[in-house]
């Protein structure tokens, strides 16, 4: 049986479109995927993403070939099948989705850049303190060690924050692939 993971974007969309809480979405979406059947492959991704329907739960899922659930829709959502919409409407929906994903990606990237600058500034301060420690007298070492003890946890927090933002940006970029 295939093991499914749920992307952050899919959790957000499940909360907005299906009215689930974040915890419910994390637990329920893999179950929906287990009972889903293949509908079509997204052509723009060379088959790396496909659309699946779960008629019992009345949901449609977009799942990457690695088992990551990327998107979720109610079954009566406007994009039930590419043939159900006119080319103009389909193109408009794709462009609107693409523009929204690009805006979200750019906002996340900006946050990541700000954190990246803070991280490197903090790393520079740590390096300066460590350099000062090499030539410091015993009474100065206590103060420098105290300062180092404050800077290091902050550096770890900034590192974790920038890593999370990088992962989020990557997920958004993957969701953007079908619309490019």
What is the tens place of the pLDDT at every residue in 61-98? Answer: 888 888 899 888 887 655 545 555 566 666 777 787 78
CATH of the domain at 46: 3.10.450.200
Q: pTM of whole model > 0.75?
A: no
Last-in-domain residue among 23, 46, 80: 80
Burial class (CB in 10 A: 0-12, 13-18, 19+), 11: buried
Domain span including residue 100: 85-179
For residue range 25-47, what is the model confidence (pLDDT) as tens digits? 898 999 988 888 777 777 655 55
Burial 154-176 (b: 16+ CB within 10 A, else e): ebeebeebbeebeebbebbebbb
Residues 44 and 124 in one domain: no
* Distance from chain centroid for Cα 76: 26
Residues 17 and 48 in one domain: yes
CATH of the domain at 140: 1.10.287
Residues 50 and 91 in one domain: no
Looking at the 3D structure of the chain, how many domains does it have?
A: 2
């Amino acid at each position: 049986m295939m093991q499914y993971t749920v992307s952050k974007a899919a959790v957000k969309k499940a909360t907005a479109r299906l009215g689930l809480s974040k915890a419910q979405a994390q637990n329920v979406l893999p179950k929906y995927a287990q009972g889903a059947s293949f509908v079509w492959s997204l052509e723009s991704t060379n088959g790396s993403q496909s659309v699946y329907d779960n008629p019992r739960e009345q949901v449609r899922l977009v799942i990457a070939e690695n088992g990551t659930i990327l998107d979720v829709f109610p079954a009566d959502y406007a994009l039930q099948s590419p043939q159900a919409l006119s080319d103009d409407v389909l193109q408009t929906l794709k462009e609107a989705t693409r523009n929204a994903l690009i805006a979200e990606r750019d906002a996340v990237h900006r946050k990541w850049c700000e954190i990246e600058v803070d991280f490197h500034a903090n790393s520079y301060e740590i390096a300066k303190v460590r350099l000062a420690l090499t030539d410091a007298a015993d009474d100065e070492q206590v103060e420098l060690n105290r300062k180092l003890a404050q800077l290091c946890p902050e550096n770890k927090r900034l590192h974790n924050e920038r890593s999370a933002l990088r992962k989020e940006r990557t997920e958004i970029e993957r969701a953007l692939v079908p619309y490019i």
